[in-house]
């Protein structure tokens, strides 16, 4: 569904000439989850802050389990601009997924994303758009870390420490993609509609700016400082669970290239030695012969590796096959690696005259590469029929939106 940008609305508070470099419509996307105590205040702030020469619409993408959608609809009656509520029965992708739905629904030249808890000041919306127009930027980030900005609204030293650590970690992992972005954890930014392709995004959790910058950096980036406000009502949605989702998201972004995935695949494989050795020790201690004990213990390592790559490497590809199908294929490949390695070593030593040590090293590298390629191709790549069906669905959806 696309929401058309409204015409300028008379009677709203004006701004001095030049406040916005080049007038253009703006869609404000607000993802919400149980923010009924905040939305009235937020809409009043937007009404007071956005000038009449900047046509505006507000799109709430709501995952709430309380009465937030009803409160939004009631409060919207007093607004001089269109307000839309898109309530999602299934919150796919969390807060980031809600933002992606808002990006798809937006019909304006500029899209401003902000939280629904009143910690992002709507008074900054015109400046974000003006900065983008003046600098010809595709993305304008409201930063707490520029001169004049502040993270004063973060509640407690724990959240400050978490924010600092997350910022340092993301900038360390993506120095190129995040160059020029001092606050990659910001949830307050403006982006040109033409600079983002929603279909490329795979959000997980609430750090959608990181997803936008890393998966498809939208050209030139500009920043403006802002002071992070205290939450007006309700409780923060930050939790240990969201923290783990954030770490999984980081891992998925960092391993999005084939080379990075292969390195991570090898590191995960190395950790499988721990459950393997522990199982071997336990089984031999119980009196089992070392050969069947090694075969059984190897399955523990296989299971361990499967669980990790499911969560860290191929999380976004799991829908193509059922879990038992993926597990069975992965186990078959892992055990085939074990069976293939010994005859390969014998061939290298007996036929080509290699020493046992270099032959073993070459066999390990060869079987590892084959196992990685086999895992990608046979376990996690979509089946051809399913991929063709998904392509037809995307084309049909695009055609319907264009009508």
Q: What backbone torsions phi and psi does residue 241 show, to the nearest 5 degrees?
A: -65, -45
Pairing of strands 189-192, 110-113: antiparallel
Helix (H, G, I), strand (E, B) or coil at 29: strand
Are 152 and 271 part of one and the same domain?
no
4-7, long-range: CB < 8 A, 24+ apart: 4/107, 5/55, 5/57, 5/107, 5/108, 5/109, 6/55, 6/56, 6/57, 6/81, 6/82, 7/55
Q: Does some domain include residue 76?
A: yes
Let me know whether 331 and 220 are in one domain: no
pLDDT tens for the chain, 403 residues long, are: 333 333 333 334 444 444 444 446 899 999 988 888 889 999 999 988 887 777 889 999 998 888 889 999 999 888 888 999 999 888 777 778 888 888 888 888 899 999 888 888 998 999 999 999 899 988 999 998 888 887 766 655 666 677 777 788 877 788 877 888 888 888 899 998 877 776 667 666 567 888 888 776 677 899 999 888 776 665 565 556 666 777 777 777 776 667 777 877 888 888 887 887 888 888 888 888 877 887 788 788 888 989 888 877 787 777 778 888 888 888 888 888 777 877 888 888 888 888 877 887 787 788 888 888 888 888 887 665 444 444 444 433 333 333 2
Q: What are the CA-CA distances from residue 394 to residues 86, 197, 283, 399 (Å)? A: 20, 13, 52, 9
- 355 found inside a domain: yes
> Which own/partner pairs from 299-302 qualify as long-range (CB within 8 Å, at least 24 positions apart)?
299/331, 300/275, 300/276, 301/272, 301/273, 301/275, 301/276, 301/334, 302/272, 302/330, 302/331, 302/334, 302/335
Examine the domain organization and report whether 106 and 154 are in the same domain: yes
Give the single-character DSSP code of 248.
Answer: H
Cα–Cα distance for residue pair 334/19, rounded to 1 Å: 63
* Judgement on whether residues 265 and 184 belong to the same structural domain of the protein: no
Return d(Cα 252, Cα 270) in angstroms, integer. Answer: 19
The token pair that represents 368 in the structure block: 């590892």
Among candidate residues 237, 271, 292, the one where a domain is terminated: 237
Contacts of 254 (CB under 8 A, 6+ apart): 173, 174, 260, 264
Q: Is residue 172 part of a domain?
A: yes
Residues 121 and 229 in one domain: yes
Residue 115 tokens, joined: 């939280």
- In a shared domain, residues 300 and 231: no
Instruction: Indicate the angle between helix axes 258-271 and 356-374, nearest 10 degrees.
Output: 120
**Domain boundary pick from 208, 237, 266:** 237
Identify whether residues 158 and 188 lie together within a single domain.
Answer: yes
Q: Write down the pLDDT at residue 42.
A: 92
Tell whether 177 and 229 lie within a shared domain. Answer: yes
60 within 8 A of 14, measured Cβ to Cβ: no
Q: Does any domain span residue 119?
A: yes
Residues 100 and 190 placed together within one structural domain of the fold = yes
Assess if residue 375 is contained within a domain.
yes
Helix (H, G, I), strand (E, B) or coil at 180: coil
pLDDT of amino acid 225: 92
- Would you give the end-to-end CA distance of the chain in angstroms? 11
250 inside domain: no
State the Cα–Cα distance between residues 131 and 148, nearest whole angstrom: 16
Task: Find out whether 11 and 51 touch, Cβ atoms under 8 Å.
Answer: no
Q: Does one domain contain both 62 and 169?
A: yes
CA dist 353 → 338, 349, 359, 362 (Å): 22, 5, 9, 13
Question: How many separate domains does the chain show?
Answer: 2
Whether residue 213 is found in the same domain as residue 289 = no
For residues 99 and 115, the answer to whether their CB atoms sit within 8 Å is no
154 in a structural domain: yes
Structure token digits, residue 68? 């937030």
User: Among candidates 236, 252, 210, which has minimal Cα distance to 113?
Assistant: 210
Task: Examine the domain organization and report whether 186 and 46 are in the same domain.
Answer: yes
Domain with 97 in it: what CATH number? 3.90.550.10
Domain that holds residue 173: 26-237
Q: Residues 45, 121: contact at Cβ < 8 Å? A: yes
Assigned domain for 161 exists: yes
Phi-psi region of 138 (alpha: psi -120 to 50; beta: other; left: phi over 0): alpha
Roughly what angle, to the nearest 10 degrees, separates helices 240-254 and 290-312? 100
Concatenate the DSSP letters of all residues of 104-119 into one string: HH--SSEEEE--SSS-
Q: Is 155 within 8 Å of 231 (Cβ atoms)?
A: yes
- The rounded distance, in Å, linking the Cα atoms of 83 and 75 is 9
pLDDT of residue 60: 94
Phi and psi angles of residue 381, each rounded to the nearest 5 degrees, phi first: -75, 140
């Amino acid at each position: 569904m696309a929401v058309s940008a409204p015409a300028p609305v008379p009677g709203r508070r004006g701004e001095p000439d030049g406040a916005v470099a080049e007038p253009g419509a703006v869609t404000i996307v607000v993802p919400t989850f149980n923010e009924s105590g905040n939305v009235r205040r937020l809409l009043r702030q937007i009404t007071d802050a956005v000038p009449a020469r900047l046509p505006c619409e507000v799109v709430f993408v709501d995952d709430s389990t309380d009465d937030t959608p009803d409160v939004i609809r009631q409060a919207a009656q007093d607004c001089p601009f269109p307000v839309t509520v898109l309530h999602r029965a299934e919150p796919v992708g969390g807060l980031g997924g809600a933002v992606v739905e808002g990006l798809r629904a937006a019909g304006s030249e500029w899209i401003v994303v902000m939280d629904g808890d009143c910690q992002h000041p709507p008074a900054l919306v015109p400046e974000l758009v003006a900065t983008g127009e003046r600098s010809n930027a595709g993305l304008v980030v409201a930063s707490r870390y520029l001169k004049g900005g502040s993270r004063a609204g973060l509640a407690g030293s724990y959240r400050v420490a978490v924010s600092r650590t997350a910022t340092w970690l993301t900038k360390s992992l993506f120095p190129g993609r995040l160059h020029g972005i001092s606050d990659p954890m910001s949830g307050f930014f403006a982006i040109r509609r033409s600079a983002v392709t929603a279909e490329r995004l795979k959000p997980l959790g609430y750090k959608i700016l990181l997803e936008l910058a890393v998966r498809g950096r939208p050209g030139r980036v500009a920043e403006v400082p802002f002071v992070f406000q205290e939450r007006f009502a309700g409780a923060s949605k930050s939790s240990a669970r969201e923290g783990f989702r954030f770490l999984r998201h980081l891992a998925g972004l960092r391993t999005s290239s084939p080379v990075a995935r292969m390195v991570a695949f090898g590191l995960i494989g190395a950790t499988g030695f721990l459950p393997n050795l522990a199982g071997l020790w336990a089984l031999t201690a119980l009196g089992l012969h070392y050969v069947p004990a090694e075969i059984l213990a190897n399955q523990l390592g296989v299971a361990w590796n499967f669980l990790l790559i499911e969560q860290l490497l191929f999380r976004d590809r799991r829908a193509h096959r059922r879990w038992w199908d993926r597990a069975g294929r992965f186990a078959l490949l892992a055990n085939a690696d074990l069976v293939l390695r010994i005859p390969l070593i014998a061939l290298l030593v007996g036929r080509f005259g290699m020493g046992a040590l270099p032959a073993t090293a070459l066999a390990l590298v060869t079987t590892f590469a084959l196992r990685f390629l086999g895992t990608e191709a046979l376990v996690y790549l979509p089946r051809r029929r399913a991929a063709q069906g998904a392509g037809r669905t995307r084309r049909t959806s695009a055609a319907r939106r264009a009508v």
